[in-house]
Structure 1
Amino acid sequence: MKNLVSVFFLIILVACSNTEKAEVSQEKMVDVLYDLTVSSSARSTANRRDTIQYVVDYKQILKKHGIDSLKFIKAQKVYQQDPDVYAVIYDSVQKRLQKKLEEVRATKLDSTEEKLNPVISIKDVPFSRRRE
């Protein structure tokens, strides 16, 4: 009876100490979360009339990265159990978003500079109607 109890205790100890590994790597998780965040941002601007809509379904994003929703959820649970790793993943996502935002802002500045330096002067354009 002592041996049975000690074997049972040993099995429970080994089972509890075995940590589950995520099926999705940290790098892939960063890629997926980045795409999901961008897609979510596009959805939040869907009600604006002056924006072009590029809304992507979450299932398409997961399919693009070659994972299904169950693997993604399991990976999230595994990474959530280790807050340090989870923080690193989300820091990477935020850095990538910040970098993309800076690129977009730089592009907008370049196009604004072109608009400020017109090729044709207003003096060169004839006015056919004048409001009086």
Structure 2
Amino acid sequence: MKNLVSTFFLIFLASCSQAEKATIPQEKMVDILYDLTVSSSARNTARMKDTVQYTVSYQELLKKHGVDSATFVKSQEIYRKDPDTYAVIYDSVQKRIQKKLDEVRATEPEKEKEKLKPVINVKDLKALSRNKQ
């Protein structure tokens, strides 16, 4: 009987000492948090009058990744308990956002050049000014 009680006690202690493991892998968590961050930013800019108002709900994003909200919250809590892992996840999200931002900024000057093209070229302008004199 003592052996049986001590065996259950040891099994209980072993199960308590094991750290919980998140059901969502780190890379997938990075993908989800990236999408949620972009969606949140879109909501904030959608309030501006000159923007297209296209936002996606958080539930739709989680559904896109095949995760329900309870699983997401539980995994996030587990990652929060390990600050080093949590920092790696958010650093990855931040790097991905910065990379996308750099890509967008790299294409903007080309668009600006197109907008700033003169309607009338210089030769036509000189010809118009000569005709007025």
TM-score between the two structures when normalised by the length of structure 1: 0.82
Instruction: Report deviation, 1:4.
Output: 6.7
Q: Partner letter of residue 94 of structure 1?
A: Q
Q: Distance in 2 between matches of 1:11 and 1:119?
A: 81
- Residue 115 (structure 1) aligns with: 115
- Residue 71 (structure 2) aligns with: 71
Q: Which runs of structure 2 are paired with 1:49-128 in the superposition (5 Å)?
A: 49-118=49-118, 120-121=120-121, 123=125
Equivalent position SS for 2:21: coil
* Runs of 4+ in structure 1 over 6 Å off: none
| Gapped regions of structure 1 (runs ≥ 5) | 127-132
Percentage identity across aligned positions? Answer: 65
Equivalent position SS for 1:52: coil
Deviations 1:62-82 (A, max 9, x none): 011111111111110111111
Instruction: Report deviation, 1:47.
Output: 1.8
Q: Partner letter of residue 91 of structure 1?
A: D
Q: Partner letter of residue 110 of structure 2?
A: D
Cα RMSD of the aligned pairs, angstroms, is: 2.2
Whichever of the two has the greater Rg, that structure is 2
Task: Single out whichever of 23-32 and 101-110 deviates more from structure 2.
Answer: 101-110
Query: Does residue 1:24 correspond to 2:24, yes or no?
Result: yes
Larger helix proportion of the pair: 2
Deviations 1:22-58 (A, max 9, x none): 1111111000000000000011122210111121000
Q: Distance in 1 between matches of 2:70 and 2:50?
A: 37
Instruction: Report deviation, 1:121.
Output: 3.0
Q: Distance in 1 between matches of 2:7 and 2:85?
A: 34
Deviations 1:61-118 (A, max 9, x none): 0011111111111110111111111000000000000011111111111101222334
Instruction: Report deviation, 1:12.
Output: 3.5
Q: Which runs of structure 2 are paired with 1:2-17 in the superposition (5 Å)?
A: 6-7=6-7, 9-17=9-17
Q: Distance in 2 between matches of 1:82 and 1:28?
A: 17
Query: Does residue 1:41 correspond to 2:41, yes or no?
Result: yes
TM-score between the two structures when normalised by the length of structure 2: 0.82
Equivalent position SS for 1:45: helix
